[in-house]
A and B are shown apart, each in its own frame.
Chain A
Amino acid sequence: MFEHGLCAGFPSPADDFLEDAVDVARLLITNPPATFLWRVDGDSMQDAGIFDRDILVVDRSLEPRDRDVVVAIVNGERSLKRLSLAGRPRLAFANRRLPDFEAPELAEIELWGVVTWNLHRLRAVRP
């Protein structure tokens, strides 16, 4: 390694300890071919820390577990819900002010993917 080339002087004592800086993309995306970003529209998942306009990291390769937040297709609508696997599988809102989510009778439900991270912007964008 010739990080310092022919530069004179003392080598940096940090040279032996150099590592790549933390890569945010690698932190958020563990399985790239199966990972997609989604945009949130609405406030029904506030109690899960997910707000209107947030960006979600969704991994399709994960096996859904109890309490996962999932992108679910309910009768052809793309929606965001909390999955409950205790007892009969159920989908729920995460917002105390809303009534329980009742899946329509005979609804066709498909799990599109599991939400692994939420990107919530804290600093407002200037108009």
Chain B
Amino acid sequence: MEPAPPTGGAPVTERSFALIDGNSFYCSCERVFDPKLATRPVIVLSNNDGCAIARTSEAKALGIKMGDPFFKIRDLCRRERIAVYSSNYTLYGDMSRRMGWIYESWAREVETYSIDESFLDLSNFRLSERAELARDLRATVLRWTGVPTCVGIGPTKTLAKAANAMAKKDPEARGVVDLTDPAERQARLDRFHVSDVWGVGPRSWAKMEALGIKTAGDLARMDPRQIRMKFTVVGERTLHELRGVTCIDLETVVPQRKGIAVTRSFGRPVTTLEGLIEAVASHAFRAGEKLRRHGLAATHLSVFAHSNLHNGDPHFSAGATEDLIEATSDGLALIAAASRGARRLWPPRGAKLAKAGVILDDLVRADHAPAALIGGRDREKADRMMAAVDAVNARFGRGAIISAAAGMKMPWATKFEMRSPRYTTRVDELPVARAG
């Protein structure tokens, strides 16, 4: 697919963005490999099967809301034959990667905004071609990956995001809404609730209603100075974006992360110090992988753990922060710090621990990290070892190498009782075609 050069009679606006995302993405991934689900409502649950985080339109029609706790809807699911799945992030991540691959060959710039949403830069396509291009892209993604999508197009990211939401709700749109044309934009924004605008949080929404701003169109017509006074430059930026003035550009490079957290609920409550150390050591190790992938190093590591706050168990919640001698991404140094932290917050005084996490903050670029004068580690050796560990884990699957401190049995690992096979990444879990 050759991008058309911006020549010829058709006018080209300054910028054009598209937001493409998977419809009920996690559920759609499940449907690709299990065609029996095509005619059934499907939901996917959060880690530990806590609550519904993805629903097909059929499941929504049966009244299942985003975030509904599973124990509350279990009977409904059984009665209505709703297919219920534990989250299978390995599968969703692989499908997301495939979709990103397709986008890369269509648009000159792509920003992966979340696991199922990407912004595409369409500025180099002719105005008249963009909607048609978006329809072709949708058709290609559907055919190649099996995942249905919607596309919103607009001169700003805020408008592209709004257009995408409109495309989802409007069956007439056939999956694509283009807000480039000012007249159509105005008409559609006047029917689009301001609380659905990207960047408008619940608090500013309440304040806006008090000012008589109900729709995105109302906000776009306000005096920018007044909005700036009430809602800071962030609110003013949203207003300009709704008017079609680009304020937020594509972020094709991941911005430096301020902090990294690895947090898990225990599949079974943890009652021993050994159990807690195993869990936080494993979390620290995972956090180290994330650090290394982004070329970052941490200067502090915090450990926290708490009991289940809802089931009547005795309450316990504690945290401990450890300074690292020097900024590091070395998994073994992080595990040592996490174990020290776990020992410091022990004992939970009879409470059962339901969740623990490791948070790394004050991140610095690893190549800018100052070395400690005293007590520093042999950095090069540690770097080489961690690079080897990452390579083995990438090749043989996460957890092929873990530190012995992280335990071998992992009885605390997340529950995935209703998880589908990892169809695309495990040779022993491939989809099966019946021959006979």
Contacts and interface: CB of A to CB of B under 8 A. Distances in A.
Interface of A: 31-34, 36-45, 50, 52, 55-56, 60-61, 71, 73, 76-80, 93, 95, 98, 110, 112
Interface of B: 35-36, 38-39, 98-99, 101-102, 143-146, 423-424, 427, 430-436
A39 B144 contact: no
A73 B34 CA distance: 10
Interface of B is mostly: helix
Contact of B433 (A61, A80, A95): A80
A71 B433 contact: yes
B435 A31 contact: no
Given A36-B431, A61-B143, 12 more contacts: A33-B98, A34-B143, A37-B427, A38-B430, A39-B432, A40-B432, A41-B433, A44-B436, A60-B145, A78-B432, A78-B434, A79-B434
6 contacts: A36-B423, A43-B436, A44-B435, A44-B436, A56-B433, A98-B436
Contact of B435 (A32, A42, A61, A73): A42
Contact of B144 (A40, A60, A98): A60
Given A38-B430, A73-B35, A33 B435 contact: no
Contacts of A31: 144
Contacts of B101: 32-33
A13 B39 CA distance: 64
A44 B423 CA distance: 23
Contacts of B143: 34, 60-61
Contacts of B430: 37-39, 55
B435 A45 contact: yes
A32 B424 CA distance: 12
Nearest to A76: B36
B434 A33 contact: no
B432 to A, nearest CB: 5
Contacts of B423: 36
A42 B143 CA distance: 27
